[in-house]
Amino acid sequence: VLSSRTAIFATLFTLGVWVGVYLIRKGYTRYLIGFGIKLFLILFSLYSYFPYLKKKVENRSGVSTRSYIWQAGSSIVKENILFGVGTGDIKDNLRVAYKKIGFEEGLAHTYNAHNQYLQTAIGLGAVGLIALLFLFSTLIAEALSTQNILLLAFVILFGLCCITESLLSRQHGIILFCFFSSVLPIFANVPKTAPARFSSRLK
């Protein structure tokens, strides 16, 4: 977890927003300042007591690398804007793009796009990217309509982490997303009384 700054900050951001909304809805606005101070102390503790994380933040580790990756990926998308290059040819096309810009580290490690939105656009073009965004927005709409805080928090957290990682390009990321997006809807706030068309069948 500590190797992914995005996951840490996205988790704290999602938690902070959820607690803030909860306190406001319950009328505990005066407690927001105390919560903000506690959240700041947690961030400061993470920064101070974990040298590895502190080093990554101060050295901007991964930022310059991703700038080269995203530059190469964007050039591929521009040339294949509608349908992409195909999911099976992403790696080969990235290697060619890395070679063009002289990104030797990318060639050596065969980096993926390190951004799920860019990764999808490379493989499936604008059509695939729209489909991915539609999937996320549909889940968010479902979570809001059923007041499912767990599902909403998961989708937002997953979507934020997709900014710096290609989470759906590997099996564990796909399983993680499919599992929680399927299980968390169970925790929706379902009305206690059954609809009229079903209540007659239960008699």
Contact criterion met (CB below 8 Å) for 136 and 129: no
**CA separation for the pair 54, 57 (Å, rounded):** 5
User: Three-state SS string across 103-167, please?
Assistant: CHHHHHHCCCCCCHHHHHHHHHHHHHHHHHHHHHHHHHHHHHHCCCHHHHHHHHHHHHHCCCCCH
> For residue range 34-80, what is the model confidence (pLDDT) as tens digits?
777 777 787 777 667 766 566 655 555 556 788 899 999 999 999 99
* pLDDT exceeds cutoff 60 at 198: no
State residue 50's pLDDT score. 65
State residue 168's pLDDT score. 92
> For residue range 95-152, what is the model confidence (pLDDT) as tens digits?
999 999 999 998 898 899 999 999 999 999 999 999 999 999 999 999 989 888 889 8
| Residue 86 falls in which region: left (phi positive, over 0), alpha (psi -120 to 50) or beta | left
State residue 201's pLDDT score. 46
Residue 51, both tokens: 């040298």
**CA separation for the pair 175, 197 (Å, rounded):** 36
Q: Which long-range contacts (CB under 8 A, 24 or more apart) does 182-186 make?
A: 184/148, 184/150, 184/151, 184/154, 185/142, 185/146, 185/148, 185/151
State residue 2's pLDDT score. 42
* pLDDT exceeds cutoff 60 at 28: yes
Nearest to 90 by CA among 129, 67, 124: 124
Q: pTM, whole model, 2 decimals?
A: 0.76
Backbone angles phi, psi at 147, to 5 degrees: 55, 40
State residue 25's pLDDT score. 75
Q: Which residues contact 34 (CB under 8 A, 6 or more apart)?
A: none
